[in-house]
Structure 1
Amino acid sequence: MTRAGRALVALTVAFALAGCGGGDDAGHADTALAADADTAPAEDVGPTALLPDATPEDGVVALMDPTRAGGLFAGPVPAAELWRDGHADVAAWPNPDGNDYVAGLLAMVRARDDGFPLTAGIFFPLSGAIDAGALPDVATSVTAASPVLLLAVDADAPDFGDLLPLTADFHADAGPFGAPNLLTLLPLQGRPLTANTRYAAVVRRRLGDTRGAWLGRGAVLADLLAGRPVAGLDAAARADYDDALRAVVMAGVPADDIAAITVFRTGDPAAELDAFVADARARALVPTPGPLTLAEAHDDFCVFTADLAFTTYQHGAPPYAGDFTAGGAWQRDADGAPEPFGQEPSRLVVTIPRGAAPAAGFPPMVFIRTGAGGDRPLVDRGVRDANGQVITPATGPGLELARAGWAGIMVDGPHGGPRNVSRGDEQFLMFNITNPWAMRDNVRESALELALMADVVAALRLDASACEGSGADVGFDMGHLAVMGHSMGGWLAPMVLAAEPRFRAAVLSGAGGSWIANVVYKQRPVPPKPFAEAVLGYDDREVHPHDPALTLLQWAVEAADPAVYAARANAHPGHVLMEQGIVDTYILPPIANTTSLSLGLDLAGDELDTRDDPRLAGMRPLGELLGLAGRAAIPLPASGNATGAGGEALTRIIVQHPEDGVEDGHEVIFQTAAPKREYRCFLAAFAAGDTPTVPAGDASAPCP
Structure 2
Amino acid sequence: MRTTWSRFAGAAFVSLTLAVACSGGDDGDTSGGGTAGVGDPCSGDECRRGLACSPGGVCQPAGTISFGSPCTISGECKQELQCVDGRCINAGEGQAGDACLADSDCVHGMRCGIVGFGAQCIPEGNTDLGGSCATPTSCFSGLTCVGGECQKTPAGGSSLGAAEFPGVTCAPISAGTVRAFFEVPGVSDPPGQAGDFFRLPFPNDLLFEDGKLNLKGFPTPGAALLGYDPVKIYVDALSESATGWGTYPAVIFRFSGHIDFDSFQFVEGGKKPVQWVDITPGDDFGRTSGLRWVANEAGGKYVCSDYFAVQRPQGSPMLPGHSYAVFLTTDGTDKSGNAIERAPQFEALLADAAPGDPVLASAHAKYAGFRSYLADQGIDPATILNATVITTEDVRAPMREVAEAVAAAPVPSASGWVRCDAGVQSPCPDAENDRGCQAEGGDFAEYHALIELPIFQTGEPPYLTSGGGIQTSVQRSESVCLSMTVPKGASMPTDGWPAVIFAHGTGGSFRSHVRDEVAGALAKATTPFVVIGIDQVQHGPRRGTSTESPNNLFFNFGNPAAARGNPIQGAADQLSLARFASALDLTAGDTGSDAVKVDPLRVVFFGHSQGATEGSLAVPYAPEFRAAVLSGNGASLKDSLLTKTEPVNIKAAVPLVLGDFSANLELVGGTNHPALTLLQQWIDPADPLNFAGLWRAPETDMVQKSVFQTYGLGDNFSTPVTLATYIQAGRLDLAKADSSANPPDPISGVDPQSGAVSGNLGSDTETLTLGARQYGPPGDSDGHFVVFDVPAANADMVRFLVAAAQGMTPSVGQ
Q: Distance in 2 between matches of 1:465 and 1:357?
A: 17
SS in 2 for 1:299: coil
1:302–1:467 contact (8 Å) kept in structure 2: no
The equivalent position to 2:218 in structure 1, one of 93, 96, 100, is 93
Structure 1 position 185 matched with structure 2 position 284: no
Structure 1 position 122 matched with structure 2 position 244: no
Structure 1 counterpart of 2:443, one-letter code: D
Residue 444 of structure 1 deviates from its aligned partner by 1.3
2:460–2:468 contact (8 Å) kept in structure 1: no
Q: Distance in 2 between matches of 1:633 and 1:374?
A: 35
Structure 2 counterpart of 1:651, one-letter code: T
Q: Distance in 1 between matches of 2:325 and 2:753?
A: 34
The equivalent position to 1:309 in structure 2, one of 442, 452, 471, is 452
Structure 1 position 546 matched with structure 2 position 680: no
Paired residue for 2:778? 660
SS in 2 for 1:207: coil
Residue 553 of structure 1 deviates from its aligned partner by 1.1
Change (3 A) 1:214 1:604: farther
Structure 1 position 328 matched with structure 2 position 467: yes
The equivalent position to 1:593 in structure 2, one of 719, 724, 727, is 724
Residue 267 of structure 1 deviates from its aligned partner by 0.6
Q: Distance in 1 between matches of 2:263 and 2:550?
A: 45
Paired residue for 2:633? 511
RMSD (CA atoms) = 3.1
Q: Distance in 2 between matches of 1:300 and 1:134?
A: 67
Residue 289 of structure 1 deviates from its aligned partner by 0.6
Q: Distance in 2 between matches of 1:651 and 1:664?
A: 27
Paired residue for 1:9? none
Residue 283 of structure 1 deviates from its aligned partner by 5.6
Residue 664 of structure 1 deviates from its aligned partner by 0.9
1:522-561, Cα deviation, whole Å (9 max, x unpaired): 1222331332222222365632111111112112222221
Structure 1 position 437 matched with structure 2 position 572: no
The equivalent position to 1:399 in structure 2, one of 517, 520, 540, is 520
1:21-74, Cα deviation, whole Å (9 max, x unpaired): xxxxxxxxxxxxxxxxxxxxxxxxxxxxxxxxxxxxx95332223345536433
Q: How many residues align?
A: 595
Paired residue for 1:483? 605
The equivalent position to 2:537 in structure 1, one of 392, 402, 414, is 414
Residue 466 of structure 1 deviates from its aligned partner by 11
The equivalent position to 1:349 in structure 2, one of 458, 483, 494, is 483
Residue 506 of structure 1 deviates from its aligned partner by 0.7
Paired residue for 1:529? 651
Q: Distance in 2 between matches of 1:465 and 1:315?
A: 37
1:292–1:462 contact (8 Å) kept in structure 2: no
Structure 1 position 499 matched with structure 2 position 621: yes
The equivalent position to 2:501 in structure 1, one of 359, 366, 377, is 366
Residue 222 of structure 1 deviates from its aligned partner by 2.9
Structure 1 counterpart of 2:708, one-letter code: L
Q: Distance in 1 between matches of 2:710 and 2:408?
A: 36
Structure 1 counterpart of 2:481, one-letter code: R
1:371–1:427 contact (8 Å) kept in structure 2: yes
Structure 1 position 73 matched with structure 2 position 207: no
Q: Distance in 2 between matches of 1:277 and 1:442?
A: 15
Specify the structure having the higher radius of gyration (Cα).
2
Structure 1 counterpart of 2:260, one-letter code: D
1:66–1:232 contact (8 Å) kept in structure 2: no
Structure 1 counterpart of 2:303, one-letter code: G
Residue 234 of structure 1 deviates from its aligned partner by 6.7
Paired residue for 2:99? none
1:330–1:339 contact (8 Å) kept in structure 2: no
SS in 1 for 2:238: helix
Q: Distance in 1 between matches of 2:510 and 2:769?
A: 32
Paired residue for 1:455? 579
Residue 578 of structure 1 deviates from its aligned partner by 0.6
Structure 1 counterpart of 2:795, one-letter code: R
Structure 2 counterpart of 1:409, one-letter code: I
Structure 1 position 565 matched with structure 2 position 691: yes
Paired residue for 1:218? 343
Paired residue for 1:294? 419
Structure 2 counterpart of 1:359, one-letter code: T
The equivalent position to 2:231 in structure 1, one of 97, 102, 107, is 102
Residue 239 of structure 1 deviates from its aligned partner by 4.1
1:410-459, Cα deviation, whole Å (9 max, x unpaired): 11122112224433332332111222321211111111121111221122
Paired residue for 2:760? 641
Residue 85 of structure 1 deviates from its aligned partner by 2.0
Structure 1 position 583 matched with structure 2 position 702: no
Structure 1 counterpart of 2:486, one-letter code: I
Normalized against structure 1, the TM-score is what? 0.77
Structure 1 counterpart of 2:343, one-letter code: G
Q: Distance in 2 between matches of 1:611 and 1:244?
A: 48
Change (3 A) 1:161 1:455: same
Structure 1 counterpart of 2:442, one-letter code: D
Q: Distance in 2 between matches of 1:249 and 1:329?
A: 47
1:244-264, Cα deviation, whole Å (9 max, x unpaired): 134256568664432111112
Structure 2 counterpart of 1:318, one-letter code: P
1:196–1:268 contact (8 Å) kept in structure 2: yes
Q: Distance in 2 between matches of 1:504 and 1:68?
A: 54
1:519–1:527 contact (8 Å) kept in structure 2: no
Structure 1 position 690 matched with structure 2 position 808: yes
Change (3 A) 1:642 1:253: farther
2:470–2:568 contact (8 Å) kept in structure 1: no
SS in 1 for 2:230: helix
1:297-342, Cα deviation, whole Å (9 max, x unpaired): 4333222111123342333343333xxxx1133265xxxx7461x4
Q: Distance in 2 between matches of 1:135 and 1:74?
A: 19
1:352–1:402 contact (8 Å) kept in structure 2: yes
1:638-688, Cα deviation, whole Å (9 max, x unpaired): 2101233x2742210010011111201111110011011112211221122
Structure 2 counterpart of 1:206, one-letter code: D
Change (3 A) 1:216 1:319: same
Q: Distance in 2 between matches of 1:119 and 1:146?
A: 21
Paired residue for 2:43? none
Structure 1 counterpart of 2:723, one-letter code: A
Q: Distance in 1 between matches of 2:740 and 2:352?
A: 51
Change (3 A) 1:248 1:403: farther
SS in 2 for 1:307: strand
Identity, in percent, stands at 27
Change (3 A) 1:612 1:279: closer
Change (3 A) 1:459 1:374: closer
Change (3 A) 1:654 1:135: farther
2:509–2:539 contact (8 Å) kept in structure 1: no
Change (3 A) 1:452 1:539: same
SS in 1 for 2:178: coil
Greater helix fraction, Structure 1 or Structure 2:
1
Q: Distance in 2 between matches of 1:235 and 1:192?
A: 30
Structure 1 counterpart of 2:444, one-letter code: F
SS in 2 for 1:127: coil
1:494–1:569 contact (8 Å) kept in structure 2: no
Residue 379 of structure 1 deviates from its aligned partner by 0.6
Q: Distance in 1 between matches of 2:505 and 2:548?
A: 14
Q: Distance in 1 between matches of 2:240 and 2:749?
A: 34
The 5 A counterparts of 1:196-345 are: 196-230=321-355, 231=357, 237-248=363-374, 250=376, 255-280=381-406, 282=408, 284=410, 286-296=411-421, 297-321=440-464, 326-330=465-469, 338=473, 340=475, 342-345=476-479
Q: Distance in 2 between matches of 1:501 and 1:80?
A: 36
Q: Distance in 2 between matches of 1:666 and 1:463?
A: 39
Residue 372 of structure 1 deviates from its aligned partner by 7.2
Q: Distance in 2 between matches of 1:234 and 1:361?
A: 66
